[in-house]
Amino acid sequence: MTLHLYDTETRALREFTPLVPGHASVYLCGATVQGEPHIGHVRSGVAFDVLRRWLLAHEVDVAFVRNVTDVDDKILNKARDAGRPWWEWAATFERSFAWAYDQLGVLPPSVEPRATGHITQMVELIDRLIESGHAYASAGDVYFDVMSFPSYGALSGHKLDDVHQGESAAEGKRDPRDFTLWKAAKPGEPSWPTPWGRGRPGWHLECSAMAEAYLGPDFDIHCGGLDLVFPHHENERAQSQAAGDGFSRYWLHNGWVTMGGEKMSKSLGNVLSVPNVLQHVRPQELRYYLGGAHYRSMLEYSDNALQTAAVTYRGIEGFVKRTVERAGDVPLGTWTDGFAAALDDDLGVPKALAELHATVRAGNSALEGGDLESAVEHAGQVRAMLSILGVDPLDPHWAGGSGDTDALEGALGVLVDAELQRRAQAKVDKDWPAADAIRDRLAKAGIDVTDTPNGPEWSVGATRSNDEAGQ
């Protein structure tokens, strides 16, 4: 593997060389658990799960840290408005995020630390910054002195004159560009004791402390959404390096999920919660959709695009399962050279998918031509590629299902097989209108029928309109 990744700080593709050969240390900014996760929230989880799987497939051990921000202004405000304890509100939606990640087949992190569990590490980091002259206390608050750190802005490209932290004004700040490390206690809010008085952490401080606690002062990759470059990651970098840490060597950022050209966010009201979307497509289909674009690109959401991705995935899945039905088994094979080249080039999933689809077409041709050995080989390659993308249909994660789901699938099979038997008899009787009517009726219901040398085969596709079904 010669993996090149686009580093936000240097604005260039760089060959990935881990600090420790055979070991990669990765930190992903996780959820601020203020509400139900929408598909924009989980895109980073899917994108960097592909990175992790690609490293693991090359026998690189990966320490993957994904944090949980469980105390924050938004959490406190929403819990208060709902009349619920802040800790219970945070725990409720932490479970919602964990469920969403699991539904989409995202590998669990090596560790998932909570901000509230690392107050000691945060206080120690603040103490180091104050002692080195990079931070100062004022009336119970503690601020980072931006002007004390000459390379501030190098990650985001912000000029010092243009820096706006997005924080409310505070009398104790020496410079409006300074940002808050520690917030003095307010009535009714959680607080912890420190040398500067009771209070709670600022958002940026949390990740620096947790990254160092689990990955050390120097680690390989820091990931997160593009919206975190400034101020969050810029401030993480500044406070950690000012305290003497090397911090992250590569910075990776994924693009947003947009609607109408705007970032999907709760404030815009244009959210699509993961549970709601999963009423319309299966989890593996949603993952295929979210992971299909290049991770650095913007992904403009539409119902049509989601359904198109779902139908495309079903076609790939159908090829693998038809091959299994014919051969009895399809062992996991090896991805193609073209697939590997695409992923080694900054996780180029779109090019990798082109290679995948070409392999599926070749495999389908082999099936139709009766060359089962070639079909099995191609299906094994397809499985290997899908496994890296996290959507191998034969992976036990997707193979499982509730008893109700299994029963419904069984009932559907009986009904479709009965229709196909009637169609076969109509063809024997040369009643072509009746045979065509059965096929059109199945197509309208979303059942795709393929005539093969071994008889008709069917798969579940998209429900079609009357016009599309020829009626």
268-326 pLDDT, tens digit each: 666 799 999 999 999 999 999 999 999 999 999 999 999 999 999 999 999 999 999 99
Residue 436 φ/ψ region, left for φ over 0, alpha for ψ in the -120 to 50 degree band, beta for the rest: alpha
Residue with more model confidence, 179 or 439? 179
* Torsion region of 465: left, alpha or beta (phi above 0 gives left; psi -120 to 50 gives alpha): beta
Quick one: 4-254 is in which CATH superfamily?
A: HUPs (3.40.50.620)
Residue 236 in tokens: 């993480």
Assess contact for 402 and 329: CB atoms under 8 A.
no
Q: What DSSP string runs through 336-369? A: -HHHHHHHHBT--HHHHHHHHHHHHHHHHHHHHT
Nearest alpha-carbon partner for 213 in 122, 301, 334: 122
* CATH of span 300-399: 1.20.120.640
Mean pLDDT, the chain, whole residue set: 91
Q: What distance in Å separates the CA atoms of residue 460 and residue 455, rounded to the nearest whole number?
A: 17
Look at residue 376 in the predicted model and tell me its pLDDT: 98
Question: Does the structure show a pLDDT above 70 at 91?
Answer: yes
3-class SS of residue 436: helix
- Mean pLDDT of the region 5-10: 98
Domains 4-254 and 300-399 share a fold: no
Evaluate if residue 65 carries a pLDDT over 90. yes
Q: Give, in order, the Cα–Cα distances in Å from 150 to each of 160, 238, 418.
A: 10, 9, 75
pLDDT at 268: 62
Average pLDDT over residues 49-70: 98
* pLDDT over 80 at 125, yes or no: yes
Contact (Cβ atoms closer than 8 angstroms) between residue 40 and residue 77: no
**C-alpha triplet 63, 66, 68: angle, nearest 5°:** 150
Q: Which two tokens stand for residue 349?
A: 């999933």
Where do the structural domains in the chain lie, given as residue ranges?
A: 4-254, 300-399, 408-460
Across the range 381-402, mean pLDDT stands at 90
Per-residue confidence band for 87, with pLDDT thresholds at 50, 70 and 90? very high
How far, in whole angstroms, is CA 322 from its chain's centroid?
29
3-state DSSP assignment of residue 29: coil
